[in-house]
Amino acid sequence: MMETKSNDIISIIPKPIKVDVKQGIFTLNNNTVILTVPDLKKQAEYLKNLMAPATGLELDIEDLSKKDGNINTIILNIEENEKVFNPEGYKLEVSQGGIEILGSTPQGVFYGIHTLRQLFPVEIESSSKIDMEWSIPCTSIEDSPRFFWRGFMLDESRHFFGKDIVKKMLDVMASLKFNVFHWHLTDDQGWRIEIKKYPLLTEIGSKRKGTINSRKKLDGIPISGYYTQEEIREIIGYAAERFITIIPEIDVPGHVKAALAAYPELSCKGGSFEVCTHFGILEDVLCIGKEKVFDFIQDVLNEVMEIFPSEIIHIGGDEVPRTRWKECSDCQARINKEGLESEVDLQVYFTNRIANFLTSQGRRLMGWNEILNKNLVKNAICQYWENNLNEVLEHIKNNRNTVISERVALYLNYRYDLIPLNKTYKYDPIPEELDIKFHKNIFGIEACVWTEHITNIKELEWRIFPRLLAVAETGWTPKNKKDFQSFLTRLDSYLQRLALQKINFATKDEFRKYEKTL
């Protein structure tokens, strides 16, 4: 392995495990043919479509059995001996005569395609033809991910961006080998998913009359928008083609003001509510004492499960005040009936009941770390964002599963003066104090973007990039292979790629002035 030479020539994010640069180059031309097997026809088409705009080449796709000693081929193939590979791993061999990408699954081959994409000059990202030589160095790469959960969460409740922007994000996620898109679809400030049994959720809950700005005044700019079930299915299909699982989040029992504006009878006090125009923690939550609340949630989740194939359904569970429950006769009756000690136990009762319902449907509940409780059902997945790390560690040590999204490093909505790029890059999701035998209980890492103060795509992209690239490398690359200075060097070419894809990002001058020695 030629580590120094590899780093000088090869600029790939996330960094592969093993790269060996050899003598010679391969040049893509009019005679290049993609050879593949039936199980990889979709991946072959994907590769062809990636290459076509910038190169102007319409590469033929043929069955691998027709190889016949052809040169200048790109071979996509499955290695049937799965023991050779991690299911998401791949081998990429580039010689003067051709390219071969090998994996035990189509997903592994797909990631190999995206590594190949980064071997080509940055101009490969152009949407129009460029007359140049499309050559890459002869290279041998072996690669597989560190974590099997490499996630990104987008909040569309606070501000709605629409399916074209979501698809754009999915494209970049795919190129960076992310495999989970966590979609925060409901909150106090908006309900963004069509539920046919409860049409008022979108008729009323998807609209708010404005946003309270930093001067504590209503800006008067209406915010609205939601996804139809048909649109969501389209996006799910788009993500699946890129081997990205979409996990929906329906936030309950708190952060429900938009739902209560539509159906106020689901609250403890009843009355009239409006979709919230300000941000923070609100006292009006779902009433745990009313059976109609559980009927409502199960009806909503039934439609969600009909749309989303994901095994995991996220139910939020964060920042739930108990003020209303203390004053509510229905909630107090529930406490007495179920033999609960206090209002604290109402939430775990609620969470377990929803978890058991999801389990009965072949699904699994996930929630923010506020759902944790000694009585929480065993199969619930915790998403850690802040506070209670000791409680999260106990959860992990009890062989329960966790995804790490620690706010101080992985909340990309914060500006770079609060979370500089090097802080995100150097953060590791495995706590140092955790014994190695429990590491397997941490599924992986997920970056989050909350959009309370992000109103447009340009600002959204500026917050996300390039920090999402840092998260991609942590999720994929072994800890002992990571190096921030190497990352910065490789980042130069990737930022050029983002520019050609018309994606906004913080420049080096913008993000480096906030870096501190960590």
220 and 369 part of one domain: yes
125 and 165 part of one domain: no
Q: How many domains does the chain have?
A: 2
Q: Is 72 helix (H, G, I), strand (E, B) or coil?
A: coil
- Confirm whether 506 is domain-assigned: no
Q: Is 57 helix (H, G, I), strand (E, B) or coil?
A: coil
pLDDT, position 67: 75
- Confirm whether 491 is domain-assigned: no
Considering 127, 143, 159, which residue would you say is the last residue of a domain? Answer: 143
116 and 175 part of one domain: no
124 and 153 part of one domain: no
Cβ atoms of 251 and 285 closer than 8 Å: no
186 and 76 part of one domain: no
Cβ atoms of 131 and 426 closer than 8 Å: no
Question: Quick count: other Cβ atoms within 10 Å of Cβ 439?
Answer: 13
Q: Pairing mode, if any, of strands 98-103 and 90-94?
A: antiparallel
Cis peptide before 466 (omega within 30 of 0): yes
pLDDT, position 444: 98
Q: Write the DSSP symbol of residue 342.
A: S
- Confirm whether 485 is domain-assigned: no
Considering 143, 170, 187, which residue would you say is the last residue of a domain? Answer: 143
Cβ atoms of 21 and 9 closer than 8 Å: yes
pLDDT, position 8: 47
Cβ atoms of 444 and 475 closer than 8 Å: yes
Sign of the Cα torsion 384, 107, 232, 502 reads: positive
Look up the pTM and report it.
0.96
106 and 194 part of one domain: no
Q: What angle do CA 506, 278, 303 make, to 5 degrees?
A: 90
Q: Write the DSSP symbol of residue 267.
A: B
Q: How far apart are CA 181 and CA 160, in angstroms?
A: 16
- Confirm whether 17 is domain-assigned: yes
Q: What is the pLDDT of residues 14-46, one digit of tens each?
A: 999 999 999 999 999 999 999 999 999 999 999
User: Can you point out the beta strands (E) in 144-291?
Assistant: 149-155, 180-184, 186-187, 190-191, 245-252
Structure tokens at 503: 């994606």
Q: What is the pLDDT of residues 493-512, one digit of tens each?
A: 999 999 999 999 999 999 98
- Confirm whether 483 is domain-assigned: no
Domain of 97 in residue numbering reads as 3-143
- On the question of pLDDT at 469 being above 60, the answer is yes
- Confirm whether 494 is domain-assigned: no
Q: What is the pLDDT of residues 176-201, one digit of tens each?
A: 999 999 999 999 999 999 999 999 99
Choose between 5 and 154: higher pLDDT: 154
- On the question of pLDDT at 5 being above 60, the answer is no
179 and 139 part of one domain: no
**Secondary structure string (H, E, C) spanning 103-149:** ECCHHHHHHHHHHHHHHCCHHHHCCCCCCCCEEEEEEEEEECCCCCE
316 and 403 part of one domain: yes
Listed residue (280, 281, 283) closest to 271, CA to CA: 283
Helix axis angle, 291-307 relative to 229-241, nearest 10°?
A: 50
Between the two ends of the chain, the Cα-to-Cα distance in Å is: 30
Question: In CATH, what number is assigned to the domain containing residue 265?
Answer: 3.20.20.80
Q: What is the pLDDT of residues 126-183, one digit of tens each?
A: 999 999 999 999 999 999 999 999 999 999 999 999 999 999 999 999 999 999 999 9
Q: Pairing mode, if any, of strands 18-28 and 134-143?
A: antiparallel
Q: How far apart are CA 460 and CA 468, in angstroms?
A: 12
Burial class for 386, CB neighbours closer than 10 Å (0-12, 13-18, 19+):
middle
Percent of the chain clearing pLDDT 70 (strictly above): 97
Q: What is the pLDDT of residues 267-289, one digit of tens each?
A: 999 989 999 999 999 999 999 99
Listed residue (29, 164, 141) closest to 92, CA to CA: 141
Considering 92, 118, 143, which residue would you say is the last residue of a domain? Answer: 143
Q: What count of Cα atoms within 13 Å lies in the side-chain half-sphere of residue 238?
A: 18
- Confirm whether 489 is domain-assigned: no
Q: What count of Cα atoms within 13 Å lies in the side-chain half-sphere of residue 321?
A: 13
196 and 176 part of one domain: yes
Question: In CATH, what number is assigned to the domain containing residue 112?
Answer: 3.30.379.10
75 and 214 part of one domain: no
Per the listing, tokens 């996006």 go with 235
How much is the average pLDDT of 214-242?
94
pLDDT, position 249: 98
DSSP H or E run through 472? helix 467-476
138 and 154 part of one domain: no
Distances (CA, A) of 95 to 25, 47, 248, 378: 7, 18, 43, 50
- Confirm whether 243 is domain-assigned: yes
Distances (CA, A) of 28 to 50, 98, 123, 125, 377: 13, 9, 14, 15, 55
Sequence-ordered alpha helix ranges (H) in 254-315: 257-262, 291-307
pLDDT, position 2: 33
354 and 239 part of one domain: yes
Q: How far apart are CA 435 and CA 41, in angstroms?
A: 43
pLDDT, position 76: 98
